[in-house]
A and B are shown apart, each in its own frame.
Chain A
Amino acid sequence: MDTIRRALLGQIAKLTAGAALVPLSSVASAGMNDQPPRREGDPEKRYGMLIDLRACIGCQACTVSCHIENEAPLGSFRTIVSQYEVAHEDTGDVATFMLPRLCNHCDNPPCVPVCPVQATFQREDGIVVVNNEACVGCAYCVQACPYDARFINEQTQTADKCTFCAHRLDVGLLPACVESCVGGARIIGDLRDPNSQISRMIDEHRQELMVLKPEMGTAPHVFYLGMDERFVSRPDARPAIWDVRDQKGEEVGYEFGSH
Chain B
Amino acid sequence: MSSEVIEILTPRYGIAWYPWAVQYFFMIAISYSALLLTVPGLLMGKRQYQALARVALLVTVSCTLVGPVALLADLHQPLRFWHFYANLTPWSWMWLGSLLLPLYLILVVAYAWLAWRPAMQLQAQGDGWIARLSGWISLGAWQAPRWMLVMCGLGALLMSFGIMLYTGAEVAIVKARPLWNTYWLPVMFVLTGIVAAAGLVMVINRLMTGNDEEVNAQSLKVVFSTMVLAALVAALWVAEGLTGFSASVEQAFASLQGNPEWRAVAIYGLLVGVVLTLTVVLMLRQHRYLRHAWIAGLLAVHIGWTFRWMVLMEVQTVAKNTAGYYQYVLEMGSSGLLGILGTFGLWLAALLIIDILVPWKRDFQAGTH
Chain A residues engaging chain B, CB cutoff 8 angstroms: 30-34, 36, 58, 75-77, 80-90, 96-97, 101, 110, 113-119, 134-140, 142-148, 151-152, 157-158, 212, 215-217, 230, 234-242, 254, 256-257, 259
Contacts and interface: CB of A to CB of B under 8 A. Distances in A.
Contact of B6 (A114, A117, A212, A238): A238
B82 to A, nearest CB: 9
Given A117-B84, A146-B321, A151-B13, A237 B327 contact: no
A134 B87 contact: yes
A242 B12 contact: yes
Interface in B1-44: 1-14, 16-17
B91 interface: yes
Interface of B: 1-14, 16-17, 74-78, 80-81, 83-84, 86-87, 89-95, 97-98, 169-170, 173-177, 247, 255, 316, 319-327, 329, 331
Nearest to A149: B321
A254 B323 contact: no
A146 B175 contact: yes
A30 B175 CA distance: 19
Contacts of B77: 135-137, 157-158
Contacts of A88: 1-3
7 contacts: A32-B91, A33-B91, A77-B11, A82-B322, A83-B7, A110-B174, A135-B77
Contacts of A256: 12, 326-327, 329
Contacts of B94: 114, 116, 138, 140
Contact of A148 (B2, B13, B91): B13
A144 B174 contact: yes
Nearest to B98: A116
Contact of A116 (B16, B92, B316): B92
Contact of B7 (A136, A137, A240): A240
Contacts of B324: 237-239
Contacts of B11: 75-77, 80
B90 A87 contact: no
Contacts, number: 196
A36 B12 CA distance: 31
A80 B93 CA distance: 31
Given A116-B94, A234-B321, A240 B75 contact: no
A132 to B, nearest CB: 9
A22 B301 CA distance: 49
Contacts of A230: 5
Nearest to B175: A216
A36 B329 CA distance: 37
A202 to B, nearest CB: 24
Nearest to A36: B91
Contact of B174 (A86, A143, A257): A143
B176 A239 contact: no
A257 B327 contact: yes
Nearest to B94: A116
Contacts of A90: 2
A148 B319 CA distance: 9
Contacts of A139: 16-17, 76
Given A86-B5, A137-B77, A138-B76, 11 more contacts: A32-B91, A77-B11, A86-B3, A116-B89, A136-B81, A147-B321, A152-B16, A230-B5, A238-B4, A241-B8, A259-B331
Contact of B92 (A84, A114, A237): A114
Given A117-B83, A135-B77, A148-B322, A110 B175 contact: yes
A241 B17 CA distance: 24
Contacts of A110: 174-176
A124 B74 CA distance: 32
Contact of B8 (A30, A31, A80, A83): A83
A217 B176 CA distance: 11
B254 to A, nearest CB: 9
Contacts of B17: 139, 143
Given A34-B91, A75-B12, A143-B176, A240 B83 contact: no
Given A144-B174, A144-B176, A242-B327, A158 B6 contact: no
A43 B316 CA distance: 36
A35 to B, nearest CB: 8
B327 to A, nearest CB: 4
Given A86-B5, A117-B87, A151 B321 contact: no
A241 B91 contact: no
Nearest to A32: B91
A36 B90 CA distance: 10
A90 B173 CA distance: 43
Nearest to B319: A234
Nearest to B80: A136
B88 to A, nearest CB: 9
Given A84-B7, A151-B13, A158-B76, A101 B321 contact: yes
A32 B93 contact: yes
6 nearest A-B pairs in the assembled complex, by CB-CB distance: A137-B76, A239-B324, A139-B16, A146-B176, A237-B323, A237-B5
Contacts of B89: 36, 115-118
A140 B95 CA distance: 11
A212 B321 CA distance: 9
Contacts of B329: 256-257
A240 B90 contact: no
Contacts of A143: 16-17, 174, 176-177, 316
Contact of A85 (B5, B98, B170): B5
